[in-house]
Structure 1
Amino acid sequence: MTTSYFSDLVVEFLHQQGIDKVAFNPGASFRGVHDSLVHEDNADIAPDIVMTCHEEIAVAVAHGYHKASGRHMGVFVHANVGLLHASMAIFNAWCDRVPLFVIGGNGPVDAGKRRPWIDWIHTSQNIESVVKDYVKWCDQPIGQKATVESFYRAFKLMNTPTHAPVFIALDFDVQEQPLEDGVRLLPASATEATRLPGLNRTDLDDLAQRLLNARLPVLVVDFSGRDPDTVEPLVALADLLGAAVVDRGNRLNFPNTHHLNVSHTGAELLAEADLVVALEVQDLVGALGSFLPLTDQGTPANGADVITLGFNELLTSKWAADYQQFVPVTRSVAADTADSLAALRSVVGNPAGPFAAPAFTERREQRVKALSALHTEARADWGRQADEAKSRTRIHVSAAVDEIYRAVRDEEWILANTGSLTIDGWVKKLWPLERPGSYLGLNGGGGLGYGLGASVGAALAHQGDGTLCIDLQADGDFLYTPSALWTVAAYEVPLLVIVMNNRLYLNSTQHAERIAGHRDRDADRAHIATSFYDQPVDFVTLAESFGVHTLPRVEDIGAVMPTVREAVSHIKEHGKPVLVEILME
């Protein structure tokens, strides 16, 4: 009879909670769990292993997997050194409000059970202190029963709004112990998330009255699309109200082709807004300032009312200021977004209610006409800019983004990553982002090294369903975690990686140019130590060294579309990854 160890119960817990994959770079501090994951007697319940070459990649893979599917991938990180490597990616997930279940090896905490040297330098008191300020909850339990309880508490808390990563330190000795009598799992339902209610009657009536009276209401959205089911109700509500929509774009919250979507227009029309309703908006000052003049307190200078709805304020770090500038808003409501949208839609859509009266419908029709004209004019102008850029000698980002879309538009595609703010901005102007879940957003924390790993995770979530997962990969971000190519090749992940290579850390170059300009110095030297001009990276050869199929580097705009189409055909035929490199200005 096979002896059952506590690490076997850990695998059983993962199975119970529906975790079908775990990502890690192997480490001795969780060797007990590793053995249980590969033990043949556990084959029917053990999650599949996704091995990576770096802990930052492992966390990013789980990050992208959850954003693409809503499902969890467990992450194991080795002792303190592995957690330090993983910390940047955990911070990204924190800022991106993505729940990740991260388990770190540690110990043995009992010093009498440590091997010489290595167990001493890889054991930490309060190991969770490395990440405690940017996880929702963390624990370092000692003993089997305490560890089981910590698992359930962590899983429940990470899925309760506001979502965020959690971290549990798993003692080296505890995981390798035989399972103690009486130690067993709790019911699977014990991790069910606590739900926030929708708008209460007072808040609902107040908001409805404000929307009824507003001359130009603006709906600002940011993270609501984390739940794809909120997109359709939000569209319906905007249509009923004739409200302008500004999408800050951390997810696909609202179709960018919809005639009421006036994001990125910076139009004078929106300066007349007298009511702003912000749904799950993280950077409120940045959102308001994108279309309204603001006071030094961050409030609209024209006196417009600002109502916030969401749960950002239910989770704040004492270390990172990702909570952004404090704004004294008119009203702040913590409520479930989906239920609140449903309640508002019911009130606004009541055929016998005040929103059906002629005084409101006439005002709505006038707004819709003006907003639709603004939307149409802006999208046409962006298209013209991209077309004009195609005549340049070197490939401009807008031209590349447009040609890539033309190559994939007939596919069922998902943008797993858009690389940088520059690439992302043109994607939102030129690609039709309409299907819920088809755009997954950026890294959240501004930390490089996210893109390739997260795209691997997203593609793993869609492996086998025919979806074309696309990583528009910035070259600087790529160079932080190039060994993610090993994982994408080893597991034959059908991912299209398009390296947008300008041979620059563009943001740093722009800052260097800006400071040189302020100081009346030579801006032509801004590329020094911000560029790869003198020692360029050959991404095609790099990918080939990992076993990833590549195509010749693209250096002419006319070659973008046929090259991307050839890459797509290869993925569809072989189900394996392809890398395309585009040399850009």
Structure 2
Amino acid sequence: MTTSYFSDLVVEFLHQQGIDKVAFNPGASFRGVHDSLVHADNAEIAPEIVMTCHEEIAVAVAHGYHKASGRHMGVFVHANVGLLHASMAVFNAWCDRVPLFVLGGNGPVDAGKRRPWIDWIHTSQNIESVVKDYVKWCDQPIGQRATVESLYRAFKLMNTPMQAPVFVALDFDVQEQPLEDGVRLLPARATEAARLPALNGADLDDLTGRLLAARLPVLVVDFSGRDPGTVAQLVALADALGLAVVDRGNRLNFPNTHQLNVSHTTGTLLSDADLVLALEVQDLVGALGSFLTLTDQGAPANGADIVTLGFNELLTSKWAADYQQFVPVTRAVAADTADSVAALRTVVEDPAGPFAAPEFTERREQRAKALADLHTEARAGWARQAEEAKGRDRIHVSAAVDEIHRAVRDEEWILTNTGSLTIDGWVKKLWPLERPGSYLGLNGGGGLGYGLGASIGAALAHQSDGTLCLDLQADGDFLYTPSALWTLAAYDVPLLVIVMNNRLYLNSTQHAERIAGNRDRDIDRAHIATSFYDRPVDFVTLARSFGVHTLPRVERVDAVAPTVREAVAHIKEHGKPVLVEILME
């Protein structure tokens, strides 16, 4: 009779919950689960393994995979050392509010079962303390029944709003034990996430009354695009109300080509806003301050009402201050975003309701025209700036971003990563970000090393559907996790990596220039220990060494589009990754 082990049940759990891929760098502390994943008898249920060369990459791969598909990829990390390596990527996912299912090996906690030396240094009491302040829930269960319960609780909690990573430690010895009598899985539905209700009752009446009375209401969005279905709903709501829309851009929340989208614009129009509806906005002070003058307390100086809607206040770390500055708001509502927008639309689009009255419709049309003029003028100005930048001797980021889009505009593309705030800003000004899910946002926590791994995960999610996945990859971020190229090549991930190489840690250089200028010192020394000028990296040769197809480095702006087109053609023909390096100012 074939013996079943507890690790086999873990694999069965992953299959039951729809996890079709797991990422890890191999480690002995989860060797029991590893054996069950590759065991021939489990072949029909075992998730596919995506091997990486570093735990930070493994977590980033799962991070990008979920953002691109809404599906979960399991992550295994090796004991305390693997969890420490993974911790930065877990923090990125925490700040990005992405639910990751992270399982770690540990132990054996029973000291009598430890091998000399290695089991002692790789066993930790309260191993979850490494990440406990930036995961939603964590546990170190001992015993088979307790571990089964922890797996179900973790999976349920990570998917319940507000979503975030979870961590469960799997004891080394428990994994390798024969399955005990009576230990079995719970029903699959046991992990079904709890739901928040829609905006209703007094909260709905209050908000609709404010929207009806407002002269210039502004809709601020940030994370609502995690559910791609909200995009069309928000467009319809904005059209019905004539809302000014400011997209903070942690996801594609609202088409940037829509004439009510006035994100990144300048001028005084929005300074007269008298109502702000903030949907799933993480940095409320930053959002408000982009168009309103604020008091020291972060409130609008003009007395504008602020209504917040979403999940943010349901998840707060006692260690990480990613909750941002406290803002005294008019009304804060915890409710399901998509259902709440639907409830608002029902009221607003009622042909017999107050929003159909001529007094309101006339006001709506007047402000919609003013917003459209602001939108059109801003986008035309950004296009002119990019075109003018193409005359520079060295390639400017705006010119590169514009030329890359010119090369791929006829493809069904997804931006898996935009590398840095500078690149990201120009993408939002120049690219038509319209299709839900076509822009996946930045890393969440500001931690370098995210881009390549997350882009691999996103491209794996689209590996079989012909979508062109593009990683606009900052060079500094790349150098944190270059071994992700091994995974990229080993699994033939059809990803276009475009390294935007300015040979700088640009943000650090800018800070060095700023402090030198403030102190009346030589700003020409700001590149010291912030640049790669003296020892430049050859990304083309680096990628080739891992077996990734490359093209000659681009050093002229007129070569950007032709090179990118050639790279796209190679991906479409061979289904394999390509790296393009652009040398920039």
Normalised-by-shorter TM-score class: over 0.9
The 8 Å contact of residues 200 and 343 in structure 2, kept in 1 or not, is answered as no
Q: Deviations over 1:291-317 (max 9, x none)?
A: 011000001111000000011111100
Residue 530 (structure 1) aligns with: 530
Residue identity in the other structure for 1:62: A
Give the distance between the partners of 2:291 and 2:212, measured in 1 at CA.
Answer: 22
Residue 59 (structure 1) aligns with: 59
Residue 344 (structure 2) aligns with: 344
Q: Deviations over 1:94-121 (max 9, x none)?
A: 0000000000000000000000000000
Residue 305 (structure 2) aligns with: 305
Residue 113 (structure 1) aligns with: 113
Q: Secondary structure at the match of 1:371?
A: helix
Residue 258 (structure 2) aligns with: 258
Residue 553 (structure 1) aligns with: 553
Give the distance between the partners of 2:221 and 2:182, measured in 1 at CA.
Answer: 49
Q: TM-score, normalised by structure 1?
A: 1.00
Structure 2: state its 5+ residue gaps.
Answer: none
Deviation at 1:464, TM superposition (A): 1.1
Residue 506 (structure 2) aligns with: 506
The 8 Å contact of residues 20 and 48 in structure 1, kept in 2 or not, is answered as yes
Residue 373 (structure 1) aligns with: 373
Deviation at 1:450, TM superposition (A): 0.2
Map of 1:445-524 to 2, 5 A cutoff? 445-524=445-524
Residue identity in the other structure for 1:560: V
Residue 565 (structure 2) aligns with: 565
Q: Secondary structure at the match of 2:582?
A: strand
Residue identity in the other structure for 2:156: K
Residue identity in the other structure for 2:219: L
Residue 282 (structure 2) aligns with: 282
Residue identity in the other structure for 1:485: L
Q: Deviations over 1:209-233 (max 9, x none)?
A: 0000000000000000000000000
Give the distance between the partners of 2:266 and 2:332, measured in 1 at CA.
Answer: 25
Residue 12 (structure 1) aligns with: 12
Q: Deviations over 1:253-281 (max 9, x none)?
A: 00000000000003210001000000000
The 8 Å contact of residues 496 and 578 in structure 1, kept in 2 or not, is answered as yes
The 8 Å contact of residues 224 and 279 in structure 2, kept in 1 or not, is answered as yes
The 8 Å contact of residues 8 and 33 in structure 2, kept in 1 or not, is answered as yes
Residue 581 (structure 1) aligns with: 581
Map of 1:81-230 to 2, 5 A cutoff? 81-230=81-230
Deviation at 1:201, TM superposition (A): 1.2
The 8 Å contact of residues 89 and 447 in structure 1, kept in 2 or not, is answered as yes
Give the distance between the partners of 1:397 and 1:2, measured in 2 at CA.
Answer: 61
The 8 Å contact of residues 95 and 445 in structure 1, kept in 2 or not, is answered as yes
Residue identity in the other structure for 2:354: P
Dislocated runs of 4+, deviation >3 Å: none
Q: Deviations over 1:73-107 (max 9, x none)?
A: 00000000000000000000000000000000000
Residue identity in the other structure for 2:236: A
Q: Secondary structure at the match of 1:552?
A: coil
The count of residues paired between Structure 1 and Structure 2 equals 585
Give the distance between the partners of 1:258 and 1:201, measured in 2 at CA.
Answer: 31
Q: Secondary structure at the match of 2:63?
A: helix
Q: Deviations over 1:440-461 (max 9, x none)?
A: 0000000000000000000000
Give the distance between the partners of 2:293 and 2:266, measured in 1 at CA.
Answer: 11
The 8 Å contact of residues 417 and 471 in structure 2, kept in 1 or not, is answered as yes
Residue identity in the other structure for 1:107: G
Is residue 2:399 matched to residue 1:399?
A: yes
The 8 Å contact of residues 247 and 263 in structure 1, kept in 2 or not, is answered as yes
Q: TM-score, normalised by structure 2?
A: 1.00
Deviation at 1:2, TM superposition (A): 1.6
Q: Secondary structure at the match of 1:473?
A: strand
Deviation at 1:332, TM superposition (A): 0.4
Give the distance between the partners of 1:311 and 1:55, measured in 2 at CA.
Answer: 29
Structure 1: state its 5+ residue gaps.
Answer: none
| C-alpha RMSD of the superposition | 0.3
The 8 Å contact of residues 501 and 583 in structure 1, kept in 2 or not, is answered as yes
Give the distance between the partners of 1:388 and 1:325, measured in 2 at CA.
Answer: 39
Deviation at 1:66, TM superposition (A): 0.1
Q: Secondary structure at the match of 1:228?
A: coil
Give the distance between the partners of 2:276 and 2:267, measured in 1 at CA.
Answer: 15
Deviation at 1:200, TM superposition (A): 1.9
Give the distance between the partners of 1:561 and 1:311, measured in 2 at CA.
Answer: 42
Give the distance between the partners of 2:156 and 2:581, measured in 1 at CA.
Answer: 42
The 8 Å contact of residues 243 and 368 in structure 2, kept in 1 or not, is answered as yes
Give the distance between the partners of 1:197 and 1:440, measured in 2 at CA.
Answer: 27
Q: Secondary structure at the match of 1:422?
A: helix
Residue 320 (structure 1) aligns with: 320
Q: Percent identity?
A: 89
Residue identity in the other structure for 2:557: I
The 8 Å contact of residues 492 and 576 in structure 2, kept in 1 or not, is answered as yes
Residue 234 (structure 1) aligns with: 234
Residue 68 (structure 1) aligns with: 68
Residue 79 (structure 1) aligns with: 79
The 8 Å contact of residues 156 and 191 in structure 1, kept in 2 or not, is answered as yes
Q: Secondary structure at the match of 2:498?
A: strand
Deviation at 1:392, TM superposition (A): 0.1
Give the distance between the partners of 1:424 and 1:228, measured in 2 at CA.
Answer: 20
Q: Secondary structure at the match of 2:472?
A: strand
Give the distance between the partners of 1:300 and 1:418, measured in 2 at CA.
Answer: 31
The 8 Å contact of residues 470 and 497 in structure 1, kept in 2 or not, is answered as yes
The 8 Å contact of residues 266 and 290 in structure 1, kept in 2 or not, is answered as no
Q: Deviations over 1:102-158 (max 9, x none)?
A: 000000000000000000000000000000000000000000000000000000000
Residue identity in the other structure for 1:66: H
Q: Deviations over 1:56-87 (max 9, x none)?
A: 00000000000000000000000000000000
Give the distance between the partners of 1:404 and 1:310, measured in 2 at CA.
Answer: 35
Give the distance between the partners of 2:311 and 2:570, measured in 1 at CA.
Answer: 44
